[in-house]
């Protein structure tokens, strides 16, 4: 049986923490689909297409990774891809409560799909897309937080805004 995992998120922008979870997932699952959520409730820094491009460039060296996007319920998307696992990264206890709720409702909707929680590498435990955007917006150094091509894109985006 092929184990297909979906690693969902907004990835606005993708961080080294995201990439760490995805890379480690490639060692556990036969195929990993990194899925960008269209979230109409947020105003993203990057369009979905831009996020897909940044992710593809970041992950191009992983032959078992696919980058995609989706609308609607995650569980419907996971089913449509014939996946059997949702991968979620946890940075801290504060993440766990939200992730537990999401995993529970997903399990109620489809008990054949498991949620796989992976603890972030300690060096990324503080890192989030929001922090990257806040630092970049205030002209701080985001090198080491995101890949170089993402750093360049974030800086360019804020240079166009201000």
> What's the CATH number where 37 sits?
3.40.50.620
Query: Which residues constitute the domain of residue 115?
Result: 4-125
Please indicate, yes or no, if residue 152 is contained in any of the structural domains.
Answer: no
What is residue 42's predicted lDDT score, i.e. its pLDDT? 77
* 129 annotated ligand binder: yes
Residue 38 to residue 47: CA distance in whole angstroms: 9
pLDDT of residue 162: 57
Q: Is 127 annotated as a binding residue?
A: yes
| pLDDT at site 85 | 98
Residue 65 included in any domain: yes
Residue 159 placed within a domain: no
Position 137 in a domain:
no
Assigned domain for 34 exists:
yes
Strand order in 114-119's β-sheet? 65-70, 31-37, 4-9, 85-90, 114-119
What's the total number of domains in the chain? 1
Q: What is the largest CA-CA distance in the chain?
A: 51
The verdict on whether residue 98 carries a ligand-binding annotation is no
Between 2 and 111, whose confidence is greater? 111
Question: Is 158 contained in some domain?
Answer: no
Q: Is residue 142 part of a domain?
A: no
Residue 100 within any structural domain of the chain: yes
Which residues are catalytically annotated? 18, 42, 91, 129
* Residue 128 annotated as binding site: yes
pLDDT at 30 over 90: yes
């Amino acid at each position: 049986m092929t184990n297909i995992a979906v690693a969902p998120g907004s990835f606005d922008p993708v961080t080294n923490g995201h990439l760490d979870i995805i890379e480690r997932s490639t060692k556990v699952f036969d195929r990993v689909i990194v899925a960008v959520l269209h979230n109409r409730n947020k105003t993203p820094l990057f369009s979905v297409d831009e996020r897909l491009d940044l992710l593809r460039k970041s992950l191009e060296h992983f032959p078992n990774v696919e980058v995609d996007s989706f609308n609607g319920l995650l569980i419907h998307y996971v089913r449509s891809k014939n996946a059997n696992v949702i991968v979620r990264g946890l940075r801290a206890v504060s993440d766990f409560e939200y992730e537990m709720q999401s995993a529970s409702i997903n399990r109620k909707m489809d008990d054949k799909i498991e949620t796989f929680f992976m603890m972030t590498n300690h060096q990324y435990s503080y890192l989030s897309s929001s922090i990257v955007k806040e630092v970049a917006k205030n002209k701080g150094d985001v090198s080491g937080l995101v890949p170089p091509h993402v750093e360049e894109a974030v800086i360019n985006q804020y240079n166009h805004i201000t």
